[in-house]
Amino acid sequence: MNRLTKPYSISFILLLLFFSCNTTKKSESKVEIATSFDAKVDSLMSLMTLQEKIGQTVMYSGGWTVTGPVISSHNKKYIKEGNVGAMLNVYSVKGTRDLQKMAIEETRLGIPLLFGYDVIHGFKTIFPINLGLAASWDLEDIEKGSRIAAEEASAVGIHWTFAPMVDIGRDPRWGRISEGAGEDVYLGSEIAKAYVKGFQGDDLSKHNTIIACAKHFVGYGAAQAGRDYHTVNMGEDELRNVYLPPFKATVDAGVETFMTAFNELNGVPATGNRFIFRDVLRDEWGFNGFVVTDYTAINELVPHGFAKNEKEATKIAMDAGIDMDMMSDANRLYLEELVNEGQVDVALINDACRRILLTKYKLGLFEDPYRYCNEQREKEVIYKPEFLEAARKSAAMSSVLLKNEDKALPLDNNQTIALIGPLAKDKENIIGNWAAAGDRKDKAISVYQGIKEYVNETKITYAKGCEIEGDDDSGFRAAIKAAKNADKILMVLGEDYDMSGEAASRTNIKLPGRQTDLIKAIRQAVPNKKITLVLMNGRPLDLSEEVALTDAILETWYPGTSGGLGIADVLFGSYNPSGKLPVTFPRTLGQVPIYYNMKNTGRPIPPNNPKEDYKSNYLDVPNTPLFPFGHGLSYTNFEYSDFKLSANTLGFSDTLTAYATITNTGDYDGYEVVQLYVHDKVGSITRPVKELKGFKKVFLKKGESHTVSFDLTVEDLKFYNNEIFTVEPGEFEIAIEGSSDFDFEHIFTLE
């Protein structure tokens, strides 16, 4: 076996390394080229200086998109010195190639850069926001949408997306609830896996796959009062039963990277939290990718009051197991000094550098650092018609029909329509927040444009009515006139896209501005005409007033680049709405937090008995939400019948199968999301009143019936009881339903 057996000159080793790392063809050499990635990393690291290893742990922003406070704009000098391992917010073939060329040709070892970007729900072709995608409950479609996002992003030189965001969100005040999959652990975990598979594909060495990043680890969605970046405090039972599982699901799906959360968790900021990053992520879960901080999060340990200065913060983060520093400029400034002072063990830097280099090898960047830089592909891939068509379908599938009285919907294209509202012709907000390089001027299809695919524009009268925000009602008159002269009224209202997303929490979750007054004015003007409310918003809203003023409500979230077409497909019945809420809509903010699987308490209110003394209820509103988790109507009706179990008991090594027959008893073919819920009646800690444990999306033609089955094992019933993950014998209630709004009728016993 030929080995490096005698002290070769450094130039020969470099030459050897250069060929082993950078040539696109197998180089013939007398010395066996390291084959496995680990061996290659070993040989490369054996040549690297401490400063160069630290360089791999540094990420700067190219400043093409500002996603946080820019404290030190990117400096090409650092790249040339080998002080940079990754860049974010640079997204074009030319932009990435120029910087990559600098790293390859002007540094001592020619180590390629990673390019990362927030490709959250699309890159150029923007899909519905993630809370909307979650409402589709369609894992295949979610995977397909993120695959398309990866196709477009990789075509412009991006290797890495800072997605999926898998934070459980149960507080509608929190603006980032828009980026996740809502309130439920099971749904959130299944969707998390779909995103990772879509982004990473089945082979990271392919030039159209990108590495994913599970964020923000952990507990970010539990920020006190829904205020972004705010304090998070929770028991280990809630952490392990609610907030950790979706992240574990991404590890099981092979996610390559993790990102730290900004928040503290029980007094320890995530970016300095050894428990979550070393004990849980590495030791318990065996995660072997790398961890990047969120934007400037190392430096933020100082204002957190967890580090006395940024140098100490740097030590804390490295000790906690954080591998890469996004935009704090802390690792570059302090790590070498900390090592030389004996404050940081150089082994930690070696570990971090190794993980990052391994990822670069997996992506094939050493073999061909320009494999993602192909102008021809950039031209061919972006906005492919099939991508825009897929986004249209996702928009339709993500829409949730909250209300539809007296068949207000679907619309008849022979009728005249008054199209009213600040979002009716909108092309800017429709693609929502975190819309990457999506176009907010021309490319998006507005609701108005979508409707014109179904109705001749002579039948559509548009009136803006009012702005999203502000006190001006001077547009009401024209809107009222339009309503009086039309058969049907379609109002497209909601939030501005930057009223949700990062640093966008609201203390008021009602429609902003004079929009609700506009509905009141229209209702007063045409008391007997059907009014349909189409909503674009990034969070659950308090719709208590609107639900009483309108005949139909369609929740479309922010439906994306093809959103107007997808919404029109639903409004006119080409697509029978099948969306189900992934998050509870409260009657009022005063109920928050409110979600379907809360605890029963010792003084529960029986569902049908809202008023009793000394019960856990409010004086002024019922305990029930306005629209519950899993709620969503169809233009048809689905009847559930013939529930049965394969047995009434479940042994620890058995599988129990639950069956139900679903029949489409209405006039439209359509999809129904069939949901399986259980309730562990007694536990060594109290258990939620319901837990989603399965769902299946079935298509039924009108009149058709289908028997749906779900298998359950003890693995599905495990929970953390503040000591261990366990499952305990006893009675479980079980149900197969079309939403979380039901009472259990069936029981099985775990023996």
Quick one: 434 or 748, whose CB is closer to ligand GLC?
Answer: 434
Specify the residue for token string 């670069």. Answer: 360
Distance CA 132, CA 95 (A): 32
What are the beta bridge partners of residue 731? 749
159 binds ligand GLC (CB under 6 A): no
Q: Output the CA–CA distances (angstroms, integers) from residue 55 to 48, 64, 172, 241, 299, in the order listed.
A: 10, 22, 40, 38, 18
* Tokens 């790590």, residue located: 335
DSSP class of residue 281?
I
Touching ligand GLC, residues 266-295 (CB under 6 A): 294-295
Determine, following the binding rule CB under 6 A, whether residue 67 of this chain makes contact with ligand GLC.
Answer: yes
Are the C-beta atoms of 551 and 402 separated by less than 8 Å? Answer: no
Secondary structure, 3-state, 339-395:
HHCCCCCHHHHHHHHHHHHHHHHHCCCCCCCCCCCCHHHHHHHCCCHHHHHHHHHHH
> Does 488 interact with ligand GLC (rule: CB under 6 A)?
no
Instruction: State which residue has the least CB distance to ligand GLC.
Output: 67
User: For ligand GLC, which residue of 215, 362, 403, 687 counts as binding (CB under 6 A)?
Assistant: 215
Q: List 644's β-bridge partners, or say none.
A: 659
Is residue 300 within the footprint of ligand GLC (CB under 6 A)?
no
Residue closer to ligand GLC (CB basis): 163 or 522: 163
State the nearest-atom distance from the C-beta of 88 to ligand GLC, in Å: 6
Rounded to whole angstroms, how far apart are CA atoms 273 and 294?
14
329 is catalytic: no
Q: How far is the CB of 180 from ligand GLC (least distance, A)?
A: 11
Inter-residue contact 356 to 58 (CB < 8 Å): no
In the complex with ligand GLC, the residue whose CB is nearer, 68 or 593, is: 68
- Cα separation, 698 vs 674, in Å, equals 7
Taking the least distance from each CB to ligand GLC, the nearer of 293 and 636 is 293
Q: How many whole angstroms separate alpha carbon 561 and alpha carbon 395?
A: 9
**Looking at 294, 323, 329, 496, which residue is catalytic?**
294
Q: Is residue 698 within 8 Å of residue 736, measured between CB atoms? A: no
Nearest approach in angstroms of CB 374 to ligand GLC is: 25
Q: Which is nearer to ligand GLC, 292 or 650 (CB)?
A: 292
* Nearest residue (CB) to ligand GLC, 67 versus 591: 67
Q: Is 629 in the site for ligand GLC (CB under 6 A)?
A: no
Cβ distance to ligand GLC smaller for residue 85 or 579 = 85
CA dihedral 721, 723, 724, 726 (to 10 degrees): -30
- The nearest distance, CB 326 to ligand GLC, in angstroms, is 7
Shortest distance (Å) from residue 323 CB to ligand GLC: 16
State in angstroms the smallest separation of the CB of 358 from ligand GLC.
Answer: 22
When asked if residue 118 is in the footprint of ligand GLC (CB under 6 A), the reply is yes
Q: Which is nearer to ligand GLC, 186 or 434 (CB)?
A: 434
Residue 300 has what DSSP assignment? G
Query: At its nearest, how many Å lie between ligand GLC and the CB of residue 294?
Result: 5
Q: Any contact of residue 74 with ligand GLC (CB under 6 A)?
A: no
Phi–psi pair at 59, nearest 5 degrees:
-125, 130
Position 162 contacts ligand GLC (CB under 6 A): yes
Count of residues that bind ligand GLC according to CB under 6 A: 9
Backbone φ and ψ for 640, nearest 5 degrees, come out as -100, 130
Structure-block tokens of residue 219: 């507990």
x/- mask, ligand GLC, residues 341-380, rule CB under 6 A, reads ----------------------------------------
By the rule CB under 6 A, 502 interacts with ligand GLC: yes
Q: CA torsion 473→474→476→479, rounded to 10°?
A: -140
**Closest separation between CB of residue 155 and ligand GLC, Å?**
20
Longest Cα–Cα distance in the chain: 93
Among 68, 110, 254, 604, binds ligand GLC (CB under 6 A): 68
Under 8 Å between Cβ of 461 and 419: yes
Active site residues: 294
Binding site for ligand GLC (CB under 6 A): 67-68, 88, 118, 162, 215, 294-295, 502
